[in-house]
Amino acid sequence: MRPFSTFLFLSAMFLSYGVLRAAATVPATADVADSVPGRWQYISENMQTLPVDDRWWQTLGDRTLDSLIALGVERNFNVLAAIHRIEASRQAIRQARAGYYPTVNLSGGWTKTRTSGDMNGIGRATTMSYWNVGADVNWEIDVFGRVKARAAQAKARYRATRAEYAATMVSLCAEIARNYAALRTAQAQLAVARAHIESQDSVRHIAQARFEAELASKLDVEQANTIYYSTIATVPALEASASTAINAIAMLIGEYPERVAARLSKPGPMPQFDHPVAVGMPAELLRRRPDIIEAECQLAVAAQSIGIAKKEFLPTLSLNGSLGTSAHSAKDLFSDRSLSYTIAPTLSWTLFDGMARKAALAEAREQMKASVDAYNMAILTAVQETDNAMASYNSAMKEAVLLEEVVVHARKAFELSFELYRSGLTSFTNVADAQISYLQYADSLAAAQGNALAALVGLYEALGGGWTEAI
């Protein structure tokens, strides 16, 4: 028996070694991107230094926006859910680390049994009762690091949830600012429309007076009325845009629209949007964007999964034991003769499981490859989004500056044409054309300023700024 037992043990060793070797031959994972561009594509108007103030919205100089973001940080339900996920992952770490310690189960009870007289050999039934109290202990000794690997994986998941929280905060701050920009843009366009409605109303009254004085045709009056009422027709859509922005802000800060509308319905100035932005180097983006940090943490989780899968090929050493007492009478439970115990160190080793562990290892490796691809994609996306955001902001700023000049000249052209018309020196067609152009360019300027602000917000979001505080 002893030589045969030795043979079985050696065979098991060689078999397990072969399985481990086979598992080790699984193709390696894809490579992680180890470099990013040395500079941004659009950099002429931006400083190549790392931002130092993550609360970028405070640079816009709008206290209302500051207060809205503060409310969103406190009340937004996506943020609250992210906080709960962080706490859940923190508890998962504690759960994984509990594997370092033994489990102890306590039991106790009273038992009464009756034995058949036909079966016990004495010809009559017997009855017996007894009390028992005991404790069972099971402890997996982490010789091969299985528990350690699971704890490390739980810690990596915890870091990933913290990065997810930061990403949620960055997105929240940007979304509030974007919708606030949309609100102020709609309000600015409404102000432009109402100012032009008032001006156009004066023009049409003058056209009517000239017609009644037989100094102008009925066509002049109808053209003036057409421009006037067409401008009025733009108001409902602009009011709806303002309401939509208020509703979006309300949802983001966790309040009902009517409460927010009472606060934001009054028109306010457009936040400051014309200032240089420190964007840093592309490599620094990897340390700022929470989505990249989260992808890196998920990469670590996948790597730990491979380690856990490999350790499943190794034996398990556990220490089992029990301590108890039993007696027919409760008063004898704790006497020396009632005490019993067992100690049973156990080494278990799964030699064959239908290749389930090998498949699990292969699955973990494929998940690792997917995580590598996701990480590389996150980096590529971050660089692209930042370059696009810089291009959009620079373009929007140039458009806003040029439109300011265009509006000045359009206003002068309208005033000049109107004075010439009142003097009878030009036709009303020139006035109408100048009126329409002035309105269009003024409306375009308001939209361009809003677009520049939204582009600035998008740039800060692409840079990963907005929230670095721990919870």
Does 16 have pLDDT greater than 50?
A: no
| Residue 54: predicted pLDDT | 67
In which residue are the tokens 């700023």 written? 397
Low-confidence winner among 14-28, 142-156, 184-198, 218-232 (lowest mean pLDDT): 14-28
Rounded-to-integer distance, Cα 403 and Cα 446, Å:
9
pTM for this model (two decimals)? 0.79
**Above 60 in pLDDT, residue 19?**
no
What pLDDT score does 123 carry?
Answer: 65
How many helices, marked H, and strands, marked E, lie in the chain? 12, 4
Residue written as tokens 């040029």? Answer: 402
The string of DSSP letters for 29-57 reads: PPPPP----SS-SS-TTSB-S----S-GG
Q: How far apart are CA 265 and CA 354, in angstroms?
A: 68
For the cut 90, the answer to whether the pLDDT of residue 114 exceeds it is no
pLDDT at 220: 94
At residue 23 the predicted structure's pLDDT band, cuts being 50, 70 and 90, is very low
Token readout for 145 is: 């690091």
Report how far residue 290's alpha carbon sits from residue 286's, in angstroms, rounded to the nearest whole number: 9
Per-residue model confidence as pLDDT tens digits over 263-302: 999 999 999 988 777 776 767 766 778 889 899 999 999 9
Contact at 8 Å (CB) between 129 and 303? no
pLDDT of residue 160: 92
Mean pLDDT, range 3-9, rounded to an integer: 39
Task: Report whether 76 contacts 253 (CB < 8 A).
Answer: yes
- Chain segment 28-80, per-residue pLDDT in tens: 445 655 555 544 433 333 332 333 346 889 889 899 999 999 999 889 999 88
Q: Are 431 and 169 in contact (CB under 8 A)?
A: no
Domains defined for the chain, CATH in brackets: 23-101+143-314+356-462 (1.20.1600.10), 104-141+315-348 (2.20.200.10)
More confident residue, 100 or 237: 237
C-alpha–C-alpha distance, residues 306 and 298, integer Å: 13
Q: Can you tell me whether residue 71 is helix, strand or coil?
A: helix
Is the pLDDT at 469 greater than 80? The verdict is: no
Q: Which residue has the higher pLDDT, 279 or 119?
A: 279
Residue 226: pLDDT over 80: yes
According to the model, what pLDDT value does residue 302 have? Answer: 94
pLDDT tens digits for 365-405? 999 999 999 999 999 998 899 889 999 999 999 999 999 99
Predicted confidence (pLDDT) at residue 448 exceeds the cutoff of 60 = yes
At a CB cut-off of 8 Å and minimum separation 6, what does 151 contact? 93, 96, 97, 99, 100
Q: Tokens 């291009």 correspond to what residue?
A: 391
Mean pLDDT across the chain:
84
Look up residue 419 and give its amino acid.
E
pLDDT tens across 158-210, in order? 999 988 988 888 899 999 999 999 999 999 999 999 999 999 999 999 999 99
Lowest mean pLDDT among 21-30, 132-141, 258-267, 319-328: 21-30
Quote the tokens at residue 12: 């098991």
DSSP tag of 232: H
